[in-house]
Structure formats: C-alpha cells, structure tokens
C-alpha cells in the first residue's frame, strides 16, 4: 500500500518556513501578488510552493525570472528541498524523469520549468505561472501580454512577486492598486523580523552604503521615484554655505579624485583635505580633454604641491593610459585606477549621499564650489525600462557631471584604509 506523504510534507513546511513564507506557499487564491523586501526567503518559499504544485498536485509550474541565473538558482533550491524530502521518507520527491538546470519533471506527473523571462518563452508553455522579481523584467508589459493567456484555460494559477524597482511600471501600478480579485501580500523586513527572521540590519545598511532611501526600497517595500534627484538640495546647500572659518589644513592628509573627460568633457581633478572628520575641498582643477600636456601638468603639479595620500582615477577610455602613467609615477599604493562601470557609479553616488547626509563635506566658497553644488543636485537616479538602476548627469555647456564624479572619486579615496608604506593587506609581521 502506497504511503500518503501529506503528513511528512506538513511537518516539512512547519519546521522549515516562517509564517509569512507559509502564507505565500499555501495562498489559496488563484491569482496572487506579493510586494516583498530583498533576501527575505521568498525564493525559498516559491521553491516549496512549486514542489507542492508539481510533486503533490501534479501540475506544471512555469517560473519566469528576471535572469537565467535566478531561474537556475530556483531549480537548485527545489532540488535541495526534494533531496531532503526523499531522505525523510518522501522517496518520490527525487524520482525524476527529467532533471537539469532548467527543468524538473517527476515520473508521477507534474514539473517545474524555470527560465529567463521573454515574450517568446512565455507563449511556449502552459501551467501555473510564477513571475519572479517582476519589477526587474525587461519590458514587463509586453511579457505580461504574452504570458497571461497561458492561464486562461483550465484553472492555472498566477503568482507575481518582486522587490520594488522604482515608482514606475506594471508592478508598481499593481501594488498601488492591486487587480480586482487578486490576493495581495506585502512583507517587508519589519514583518519578517516579527515572524522570527534574524538579520543584521547594520550589515544590510552597509550593502546600500548607508543610504536610507535605497535601504527602504530594498528592504522596506518603499518605491523610490523612478527619476529621482538623487542628492537633495537640503543636503548639498549646507556643504556650499557652511558657517565659520576653515581650519588650518597645512598638515591635513590630502586625497584626490580624477575624472578624465571624454569627447568634449572636462578632465577634473579634485583635491580635498580630511580634517575634523570632514572633507574640505581644496580646489577644483580643470583641463580640456584635448590638452593632454595641460592635463598631465595639472595632475603632476598638484601632487608635487599637495602630496596625495590616495588618488582615485577614472581609467575609462583615454584615461587608461593616463592612469598607468600615474601608477608608475606615484606608486600603486597612492593611485587606484577604476573603470567607470554601473556598479562603480552606484558606489560613488551613494557614497556622496552618505557624506553629505552626515554633514561632512565643505565645498569652496567660490564659483567652483557653486558649480560643484549645481552638478550634485543635477545627478539623477533613474530606473530604465529594463529595470536597471543608473546614475546620470545631464550634459550641458559646463560639462557632463565631471566635477561631481571627480568629487565622488575623492570621497572614495578618503574612505580607503591607509596602510603603512611597504605593508600590504597581509603583512608578514604584526603591526600592533
């Protein structure tokens, strides 16, 4: 006589998942939407729900993720749960007819297919539909038009879930006004902690470089403006109109940021002194992109006069050769060449926000300081149609945010831990 695995499945669910996860796994509504914080275990819960739908109910489960890596990760999580279930007596959990990086199919019936989302893929399958991190899907509206018909026949279910990704797009619209007849789950970090999730909030805050707004979107289910003035005027103005006299900076360590201009942009070098736990801008030095000798003279002259402790350099494009020259001339312990990737721009923008928010920046009280302040408030945080977050500076006659990016590179230089000359990351001898 074949044993009923229901009791084992119930024990597995109760012992492995928190309350908010169980509510998602066992949601009875045909259509359900979830707005959730990052890293709260929704993918794990979705894997469990797919096992119930596929293994127990013998229904096809179709998971469309924002990227194939996400889809593959879900399949691996399902496999891990199935191996555990098989070890505790549900042997059919690993009785697979198909098992690869994109599909699991049980011999008893039911399956899970997990793929990167695109409209063509969405039209090729039928079954219970899971749209994973839907706010990050490229052209979500077109995908929805292609995917939603797969559930119009029979009693197939739909589950849509995601973290916020800007106050724009179909997922944002649905969360603002859930479709009629849909169950709606909203689970942020506070909810998860109340249900027993243990997290290190300080570590999570460090992942977003201390930016409370990005933290709120990532973990507290709050949508940021999709086209946001990233550095509020209320934070930038005190850095420009600070009160009192400047301290003696003659003995303060000097750090620098160098943004190398492209096309018609300026090359900007921003030296700053770290004194009284604040960044005091010493000057904003500029040179035209085409004036290579002038650029080199400006940088070498500044280093001769000021002596940079650390200089962060944009090595993109024409900056690569210049960065190599500076490393050779000043030393790799002084010069840090950096490629201007999306990730680096995010790091620089959030770092500038943190310094300004903490009131630790002093611009020069002249036209150069005014120009830098203008470029700070002009910085935009945008969410593209593909769901990617970018930080952009508008192009105008004065440049393309060159002063801001040079300033942000200087702050990165200040945040680098200085090591004694000749001592690497792993010194041979203890330094006390």
- Encode pLDDT of 100-149 as tens digits: 999 999 999 999 999 988 887 777 788 999 999 999 888 888 889 888 88
Q: In this predicted structure, what is the pLDDT of residue 173?
A: 93
Instruction: Tell me whether residue 14 is in a domain.
Output: yes
Residue 423 lies in a domain: no
Reported pTM: 0.71
Is position 322 within any domain? yes
Burial 313-349 (b: 16+ CB within 10 A, else e): bbbbebbeebbeebbeebeebbbbbbebeeebbbbbb
pLDDT of residue 385: 61
Residues 244 and 362 in one domain: yes
Q: Would you state the pLDDT for residue 398?
A: 56
| 338 lies in the same domain as 360 | yes
**d(Cα 265, Cα 130) in Å, to the nearest integer?**
46
Q: Do 273 and 149 sit in the same domain of this protein? A: no
**Range name among 186-195, 224-233, 322-331 with the lowest pLDDT average:** 224-233
Per-residue pLDDT of 1-43, as tens digits, reads: 455 677 889 999 999 999 999 999 999 999 999 999 999 999 9
272 has pLDDT over 90 = yes
Distance CA 186, CA 220 (A): 10
Question: Among residues 189, 219, 249, which one ends one of the domains?
Answer: 219
Q: What pLDDT does 263 receive?
A: 58
Q: Is it the case that residue 265 has pLDDT exceeding 60?
A: yes
Residues 266 and 338 in one domain: yes
The reply to whether 211 and 245 lie within a common domain is no
Residue (of 222, 179, 216) closest to 33 by Cα position: 179
Q: Does residue 251 fall inside a structural domain?
A: yes
Same domain, 258 and 174: no
Question: Do residues 368 and 233 both lie within one domain?
Answer: yes
Q: In this structure, is residue 116 part of a structural domain? A: yes
- pLDDT class for 403, splitting at 50, 70, 90? very high
Domain carrying residue 149: 6-219
Token pair, residue 269, equals 């070098």
pLDDT at 2: 54
The answer on pLDDT for 423 being more than 60 is no
Residues 418 and 411: beta-carbon distance below 8 Å? no
The answer to whether the CB of 356 falls within 8 A of the CB of 236 is: yes
Which residue, 255, 338, 322, is CA-closest to 287? 322
Domain count, the chain: 2
- Find the CATH number of the domain harbouring 33: 3.40.50.300
* Residue in the block written with tokens 């179709």: 62
Residues in the chain: 432
> What CATH number is associated with residue 259?
3.30.420.240
Residue 346 domain flag? yes
Query: Do residues 28 and 158 share a domain?
Result: yes
Which whole number is the average pLDDT over 83-110?
95
The residue among 194, 219, 244 that closes a domain is 219
Tokens of 290: 């085409």
pLDDT of residue 387: 65
Q: Are residues 267 and 394 in the same domain?
A: yes
pLDDT at 288: 73
Do residues 100 and 168 share a domain? Answer: yes
Kindly state whether residue 430 falls inside one of the protein's structural domains: no
Does 249 map to a domain?
yes
Same domain, 190 and 247: no
Mean of the pLDDT values across residues 369-379? 91
In a shared domain, residues 52 and 178: yes
Q: What is the pLDDT of residue 424?
A: 45
Would you state the pLDDT for residue 7? 84
């Amino acid at each position: 006589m074949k044993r009923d695995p229901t009791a084992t499945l119930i024990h597995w669910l109760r012992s492995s998942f928190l309350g908010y996860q169980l509510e998602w796994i066992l949601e009875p509504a045909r259509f359900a939407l979830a707005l959730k914080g990052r890293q709260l275990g929704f993918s794990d819960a979705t894997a469990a729900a797919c096992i119930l739908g596929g293994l127990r109910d013998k229904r096809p489960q179709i998971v469309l993720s924002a990227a194939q890596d996400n889809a593959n990760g879900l399949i691996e999580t399902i496999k891990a749960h199935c191996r555990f279930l098989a070890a505790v007596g549900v042997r059919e959990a690993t009785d697979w007819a198909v098992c690869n990086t994109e599909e699991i199919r049980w011999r008893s019936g039911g399956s899970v297919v997990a793929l990167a989302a695109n409209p063509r893929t969405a039209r090729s399958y039928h079954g219970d539909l899971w749209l994973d991190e839907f706010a990050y899907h490229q052209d979500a509206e077109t995908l929805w038009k292609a995917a939603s018909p797969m559930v119009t026949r029979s009693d197939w279910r739909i589950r849509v879930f995601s973290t916020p990704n800007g106050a724009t797009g179909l997922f944002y619209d649905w969360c603002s006004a859930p479709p009629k007849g849909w169950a709606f789950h909203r689970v942020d970090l506070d909810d998860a902690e109340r249900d027993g999730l243990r997290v290190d909030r300080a570590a999570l805050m460090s992942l977003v470089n201390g930016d409370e707004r990005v933290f709120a979107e990532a973990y507290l289910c709050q949508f940021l403006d999709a086209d946001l003035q990233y550095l509020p005027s209320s934070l930038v103005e005190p850095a420009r109109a600070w009160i009192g006299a400047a301290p003696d900076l003659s003995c303060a360590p000097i750090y620098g940021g160098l943004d190398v201009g492209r096309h018609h942009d300026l090359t900007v070098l921003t030296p700053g002194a770290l004194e009284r736990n604040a960044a005091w801008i010493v000057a904003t030095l500029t040179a035209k992109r085409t004036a290579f000798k002038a650029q080199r003279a400006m940088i070498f002259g500044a280093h001769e006069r000021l002596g940079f402790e650390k200089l962060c350099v944009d090595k993109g494009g024409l900056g690569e050769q210049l960065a190599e020259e500076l490393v050779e001339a000043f030393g790799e312990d002084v010069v840090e060449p950096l490629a201007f990737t999306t990730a680096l721009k995010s790091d620089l923008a959030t770092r500038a926000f943190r310094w300004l928010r903490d009131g630790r920046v002093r611009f020069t009280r002249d036209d150069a300081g005014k120009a830098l302040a203008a470029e700070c408030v002009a910085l935009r945080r945008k969410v593209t149609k593909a769901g990617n977050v970018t930080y952009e500076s508008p192009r105008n006659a004065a440049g393309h945010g060159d002063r801001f990016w040079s300033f942000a590179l200087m702050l990165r230089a200040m945040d680098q831990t200085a090591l004694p000359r000749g001592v690497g990351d792993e010194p041979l001898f203890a330094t006390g």
